[in-house]
Structure 1
Amino acid sequence: MKVVVMGAGVIGVTTAYYLAKQGAEVTILDRQTGPALETSFANAGQLSYGMSSPWAAPGIPVKAVKWLFMKRRPLFIWPLISPTMWKWCYSMLRNCNEESYRINKSRMVRVSSYSRDVMPDLIAETGIQYDGRAQGTLQLFRTAKQLKDSKADQDILAEYDSPFEVLDPDACIKAEPALAEVRQKFVGGLQLKADRTGDCQMFTSALAQKCVEMGVDFQYGQHIRGIAIENGRVAGVDVELAGRITGDAYVCTLGSYGPGVLNPIGIKLPVYPVKGYSVTLPVTDDAFAPQSTIMDETHKVAITRLGDRIRVAGTAEIAGYSNRLGPHATDTVRHVISDLFPHGGDLAKAEGWTGLRPMTPDGPPVMGASKYDNLFLNTGHGTLGWTMACGSSRAVADVVMGKTPEISLDGLTAERYA
């Protein structure tokens, strides 16, 4: 079977790997010059199995209003004249209730837990290196209220057998010794023991090379103009340079840009770009640097150790398809690293980045079959593309190859938006 995969981010490349492993002849199309050069390039570096939760949660509307008045706020909303944007926001608000949250959370945990279980096999099979660490995530609370409110998350973690531990300040410092310098700035933490860390771009690039060795054809610099439909099936993908690329089956892994090619053929997915920012800086002193990932609950900023570098990522900006990195765009993430690890890295050498997270209003990704029997979807992972990549890609590859996936795709397909 010949399969055309649209998109060479972490989702596209892992999908190609699992397809090639099952004997498919795979072609990947991407407009960039190499793999993982957009959303997968400089994300937070977290494999957040214990934090796989929808943004649409009870209490979020009230929190969102409060965030808008913070000096270093985690959320920005630009009032664009965009029906698509406001429809997406309205749909997200409709999911901010206890019943929807639990349904959506369970769907996301199903995918992330599967990904957690199958990723070690991929690493063992390929031997790729990606600055990986297995020391968990420390969710750091600056106020007693945040610590108290985390009880709801603890209950859900316990329900889904995701290991965690509530830590007092001394235990937080034992997990992350450099926090001893700023112990007066937090009251406790929640350690998510199943979480991992690693460089998503490094992982994707290394896996892409393995895919090449397996015979996968990467065609870069290919701007997709549209998907051609003939007689009720996909007849090919039209690209600017090569014309029409054909196959027996097609997989859309275009993230935020998926709706641009899916809407014209009648597949209306509510995937919207939510902009995020990061800086990457060199470690200056290991004793004062983070050892794994710390999530600052106040600013919603993640600080992750990647080898001899520190990645600091956060901010949610609803501003359409803007890739602009303004002069003050990374102020919040810069503040958090200097506030918690003032002597750990060299901010003067920090490299800024911005990317568009493909978010669904309810939270779970969109996986599996579409209205066309030879077109499949693997998109809408939001902030958890790196976390869910191996699990969602293996499941979708099974569906493409006519096999029953090892996890149920109930509630994860495009049918939920019909």
Structure 2
Amino acid sequence: MHIVVIGAGIIGTSTAYALMQDGHYVTLIDAAPHAGTQASRANGGQLSYSFVAPLAEPAVLPQLPRWLLREDSPLRWRPRADPAQWRWILSFLLACRRGLHQETTRDLLALGMASRHALRQLVERESPAFDFTASGKLQVYGDTKSLDAARRRTEFLASLGCPQQILSTADCVAREPALADMAGGIAGGVHTETEDAGDAHALCRHMEEGLRQSSRSQLMFETTVQGWRTSGLRVVALRTSRGELAADGYVLAGGVGSQALARRLGMDLGIYPLKGYSLTYALTPDSRAPTMSVSDIASKVVYARLGDRLRVAGMVDIGHVTTEIDAGRITRMEQAVAQRFPRLNAAGAPSAWAGLRPARPNGKPLIGPTRYDNLWLNTGHGMLGFTLAAGSARLLADQIAGRPTSLAGDLFQP
């Protein structure tokens, strides 16, 4: 089949790549000049297959007033006169139920394990240059109360086949010596050896080049999608800034833009942008920086080593619908880095970035067919796009081919 994939972030590019490898002729279309230039450009870099629990959980509710009203909170809400925002907030609150949270965690964990398998297969097969490392992940906690809560979560994840190890303060520093300067603020940690890290943008560019060199693909960058032409419950063509584009099938994988495009077909995907920030430090031979992925739970900031760079990411802004960088958020992250890693000795000031993550209230992406018989979805991954991309692309490719899937076919059914 000729399949058009809308969106060239990590999800769309991975989908187009998987479909091309399946033997389909693929057209990848995006308004940007290259793949991976928006939410995938400088994300957190962590491939946290075991840490996929949705943001919506009962434990969040008591903290929401403090988080939402404080300007320096890691989760911040800017109310807007936007019905979509209020619908999303209400749906998020309704999703903060223990049973739903555990069910969603089980489903996302299964997709995370499938993603780890698929991505590591690609790494073994093609050796893409995206600073990939299978160094594991360490979560550090600043107090015994939060560490005890983490211990209970590890028991739940262990029951789902995800082993983790509780570490003392000394064990944390032994595993990651760069934490020595913040040892006084660490009550303990959780180590997961199965986690990876990498540069999502570099992986997108690797797949873009593979698509460019293939006779079974076409790249249409700097092209905006303006709408659809349908006949009954079938998409006949895609209306673009370069004219109509007809194909046998279409995959909507446009990140936050998926919501508006789906609306034109009468579908509400429940996607709303959550803004996140990152800093990228160039390291020197004198830099004392972590070599494994580290998540500082107290500050809600994550660290990922990408070759000779350190990627630092965090913050969630609800109601900030542009990628304009908030200087206050960047300052807060720089202060966290200076406090945790005073001997970072970077080559200079970090480069700052902000991106919009396509989030659904319950944390589950939409992967699979729609009521239109030649339109599929692969979107709504929120903060887990990089982590879940390889598995999501494989799952959708299997569905389109009619093959048995490694996951239950309706887990992420639109």
Same fold (TM over 0.5): yes
Letter in 2 for 1:352: A
Structure 2 counterpart of 1:227: 228
Native 8 Å contact 1:290 1:344 kept in 2: no
Q: Deviations over 1:87-106 (max 9, x none)?
A: 11111111111111111111
Letter in 1 for 2:273: P
- Give 3-state SS (helix, strand or coil) of 2:378's partner: strand
1:320: how far off? 4.5
Structure 2 counterpart of 1:53: 53
Separation in 1, partners of 2:385, 2:224: 22
Structure 1 counterpart of 2:251: 251
Native 8 Å contact 1:365 1:379 kept in 2: yes
Q: How is 1:3-18 mapped onto 2 (pairs within 5 angstroms)?
A: 3-18=3-18
Seen in structure 2, the aligned counterparts of structure 1 residues 345 and 278 have a Cα distance that, compared at 3 Å, is farther
1:285: how far off? 4.3
Task: Report which stretch shifted further, 98-107 or 347-356.
Answer: 347-356
TM-score normalised to the size of structure 2? 0.97
Structure 2 counterpart of 1:396: 396
Native 8 Å contact 1:303 1:337 kept in 2: no
Q: Deviations over 1:159-208 (max 9, x none)?
A: 12112111111111111101112211211111122111111111111121
Q: Does 1:30 align with 2:30?
A: yes
Native 8 Å contact 2:72 2:329 kept in 1: no
Native 8 Å contact 1:367 1:413 kept in 2: yes
Task: Report which stretch shifted further, 362-371 or 208-217.
Answer: 208-217
Separation in 1, partners of 2:369, 2:404: 12
Seen in structure 2, the aligned counterparts of structure 1 residues 83 and 70 have a Cα distance that, compared at 3 Å, is closer
1:265: how far off? 0.5
Q: Deviations over 1:76-129 (max 9, x none)?
A: 100111111011111111111111111111111121111111211112222212
Separation in 2, partners of 1:338, 1:34: 34
Q: How is 1:110-125 mapped onto 2 (pairs within 5 angstroms)?
A: 110-125=110-125
Among all aligned residue pairs of Structure 1 and Structure 2, give the percentage whose two residues are the same amino acid: 31
Q: How is 1:10-409 mapped onto 2 (pairs within 5 angstroms)?
A: 10-68=10-68, 72-215=72-215, 216-240=217-241, 242-285=242-285, 288-346=288-346, 348-409=348-409
Letter in 2 for 1:226: G
Native 8 Å contact 2:287 2:346 kept in 1: no
Native 8 Å contact 1:72 1:299 kept in 2: no
Separation in 2, partners of 1:367, 1:167: 36
1:156: how far off? 2.1
Native 8 Å contact 1:126 1:210 kept in 2: no
1:337: how far off? 1.3
Separation in 2, partners of 1:224, 1:347: 41
- Give 3-state SS (helix, strand or coil) of 1:270's partner: coil
Separation in 2, partners of 1:53, 1:345: 34
Separation in 2, partners of 1:232, 1:266: 11
1:334: how far off? 1.3
1:214: how far off? 2.5
Native 8 Å contact 2:154 2:163 kept in 1: no
TM-score normalised to the size of structure 1? 0.96
Letter in 1 for 2:146: Q
Counting matched residue pairs gives 413
Q: Deviations over 1:371-416 (max 9, x none)?
A: 10100000011111101000000110122233332221323111xx
Separation in 2, partners of 1:125, 1:182: 39
1:347: how far off? 7.8
Task: Report which stretch shifted further, 400-409 or 333-342.
Answer: 400-409
Unmatched 5+ stretches in structure 1: none
Regions of 4+ moved over 4 Å: none
Seen in structure 2, the aligned counterparts of structure 1 residues 195 and 315 have a Cα distance that, compared at 3 Å, is same
Unmatched 5+ stretches in structure 2: none
Separation in 2, partners of 1:134, 1:124: 12
Query: What is the Cα-based RMSD across aligned positions, in Å?
Result: 1.4
Separation in 2, partners of 1:81, 1:409: 38
Native 8 Å contact 2:163 2:192 kept in 1: yes
